[in-house]
Chain A
Amino acid sequence: MYTFRRMLKASTLAACSAAVLVSTAQEQVKLGQAITEVSLAEFNLIAEPSGTGFPAGSGTAQQGRTIFENRCALCHGSNGEGNSDATVLVGGNMQSAETPLRTVGSYWPYASTVFDFIRRAMPANAPKSLTDEETYQVAAYVLYLNGLVAEDEIMNAQTLPQVRMPNAEGFIDRSHIQ
């Protein structure tokens, strides 16, 4: 009984301070530590269609050929023909009678994604091991294999996101359906 009464007392006390408790129920601790955008330069790998996030540097397909041979061809073939549906990088035609082969050249709507994806995820056996310069070079080579840029066209933060992708108009945005 004693304990029970003590509990009652405690809960009355709690009820008295309930106003505080209830209001803090909506209030959160704030433990995020301020950080500057500048300090995220190495951490943030997002390269956007607008060109935002592309690093300094540049490269051509000519320069990228050797890197592709050495670092990519094992899984993607010397000419980007791939060894599976997942690794084919060239060819395809969205209007073919059969199920169309969807690749960088035939399907991808944005060139920026080529740089963004290679920089964050490729080569699959050693992601993030290329320098920015090498990434521009090999991205240029992938675009070149698809006939989207010339062999000596300089790819950099300005030019690469501007490369016209054949299937750019092929997508219907459904993000409003949530």
Chain B
Amino acid sequence: MTKSSKGQNIELDPERVAANGLLSRRHLLSAALGGAGLAMARPVIGQEPGINLEIPAWSKAPGPGTSPYGSRSAHAQLERQSGFGNPLYPGGGASRSPLQHLQGTITPNSLHFERHHAGIPAIDPAGHKLVIHGLVRQPLVFDYEDLLKYQMVSKTYFLECSGNSGALLYGGNPDGTAQSLHGLVSCAEWTGIPLSVLLEEAGLLPDARWIAAVGADAASMGRSIPLGKAMDDSLLALFQNGEPVRPEQGYPMRLFNPGWEGNTSVKWLTQIKVTRNPLQFRDETSKYTDTLPDRTSLQFTFPMDVKSLITSPSGQMRVTQRDIYRVTGIAWSGAGSIRRVEVSADGGQTWGDALIESQQLDKALVRFSIPWRWNGAPAVLQSRATDSAGNVQPTRDAVIAAKGTINRYHNPCIQSWGVNTAGEVTNVYV
């Protein structure tokens, strides 16, 4: 027996944890162990005479040998999705991670989302400088080779653009996919030097309250970061998933502010000016500010909210099986770790706890799953995350009630995927 959000009691069989076919998260495991799982009604190979499993061609001839740089299988050609280049916005734009085709929690470097304001600079690290100046005892300049000699830390963190999922606030987009609607989030292991170490080397003066971080791209993109964050867990990231940070992620070095809106993690970092006040760069005034219904605007909305998303099944996929379907997705929070993910198959009336399949690291993606037995009737799949600070992912209605629809940043709302009787999955609003 479980309680629906409307308060009525719903009878469930022991395996069912919520209405419309959601099963206990233990189900997939017990089925694998030959336990109480449903028998999969598939024919036995070899029952019909003449059907034999054969040795495939690739097992009969040696393949190519080693290579200096690996590449993916010709059968697994995942791609980022980006708009066409705009000649009037040279190098500008974004590309999105193919979330619906990824598993686990780490985004491969080639598929990490991108957002550039003036393209990717071709930086020779030998000519790149990192300057720290302003309210410091001694302004300093650092070379790349020297920075490689510092002690480093490695942390797995998500990075999300604060414009991610913004389209949901406008409605529309029935054709949207997990990638096109939510693909501005990725997760990697970032290795680098705690920014505090470098700031302390320069020596902070008593009036220091903020840092201004500027990149070496053609836009010299800048953001102001409160000193508290910079001295807490901000990194000067030099490596991404073990290899030098990719050019589109800031090679040879980027700022990384864990849990904060992606734009603050300034790529191609070349200048840190320690200041008393924020600098009021264009990308913290004209952009990346959230206008409310009363027409005031929130400035410096830094942490990303608790959020989750079902990646399978998701927009433009098709559910074909009537037996157990592994509903899976990702969850994350800028306020800490993910404690719980619930899934609903009836548009948020009843919820069942999903299994967290991955480590539950601070400010990193987790992977969740829950078994679902689709009965062929229309269904609406949703997921809802709770973080270690107790924040619960809000509905779309709640986000719109709180922040209106003028705002286009920081939308953490619950995604609803509608499944019709043909099994086709679309973005729906409930």
Least distance between B15 CB and chain A CB atoms (Å): 42
Most buried by B among A43, A116, A120: A120
CA distance A94 to B149 in the complex (A): 51
Given contacts A120-B222, A125-B90, contact A171 B299 (CB under 8 A): yes
Q: Which residues of A contact B279 (CB under 8 A)?
A: 46, 48-49, 116
Please provide the chain A residues from 57 to 83 with a CB less than 8 Å away from any CB of chain B in the complex. 74-75, 83
Are B299 and A174 touching (Cβ within 8 A)? yes
B289 nearest in chain A by CB position = A171
Are B140 and A174 touching (Cβ within 8 A)? no
Are A102 and B286 touching (Cβ within 8 A)? yes
A3 CB–B CB distance under 8 Å: no
Q: Count how many pairs of residues, one from A and one from B, have CB atoms less than 8 Å apart in the complex.
A: 163
A52 nearest in chain B by CB position = B275
Judged by DSSP, the binding face of A is loop
Interface pick from A6-14, A15-23, A28-36: A28-36
Q: Which residues of A contact B138 (CB under 8 A)?
A: 32, 34
Are B298 and A32 touching (Cβ within 8 A)? no
Given contacts A36-B139, A127-B219, contact A46 B212 (CB under 8 A): yes
Least distance between B284 CB and chain A CB atoms (Å): 9
- What is the size, in residues, of chain A's interface with B at 8 Å between Cβ atoms? 53
Please provide the chain B residues from 121 to 143 with a CB less than 8 Å away from any CB of chain A in the complex. 131-133, 138-143
Are B149 and A29 touching (Cβ within 8 A)? yes
- What is the size, in residues, of chain B's interface with A at 8 Å between Cβ atoms? 58
Q: Give the contacting residue for A49; candidates B131, B221, B277, B296; CB below 8 A.
A: B277
Are A75 and B88 touching (Cβ within 8 A)? yes
Q: Nearest 7 pairs between A and B by C-beta? A: A32-B140, A175-B300, A31-B146, A120-B220, A117-B282, A121-B219, A171-B299
Known pairs A173-B299, A174-B298 / 15 extra A-B pairs, C-beta < 8 Å: A25-B151, A31-B142, A32-B141, A32-B142, A32-B198, A45-B214, A45-B220, A50-B277, A86-B92, A102-B286, A110-B280, A112-B280, A128-B218, A171-B297, A175-B302
A residues whose Cβ falls under 8 Å from a Cβ of B: 25, 28-37, 40, 43-46, 48-50, 74-75, 83-84, 86-87, 94-95, 99-100, 102, 104, 107-110, 112-113, 116-117, 120-121, 124-125, 127-128, 170-175, 177-178
Interchain Cβ contacts under 8 Å between A and B, 23 examples: A28-B150, A28-B201, A29-B150, A30-B201, A31-B142, A32-B146, A33-B143, A44-B273, A45-B214, A86-B92, A100-B295, A102-B286, A113-B282, A113-B286, A116-B281, A120-B214, A121-B220, A124-B118, A127-B218, A171-B289, A171-B299, A174-B299, A178-B302
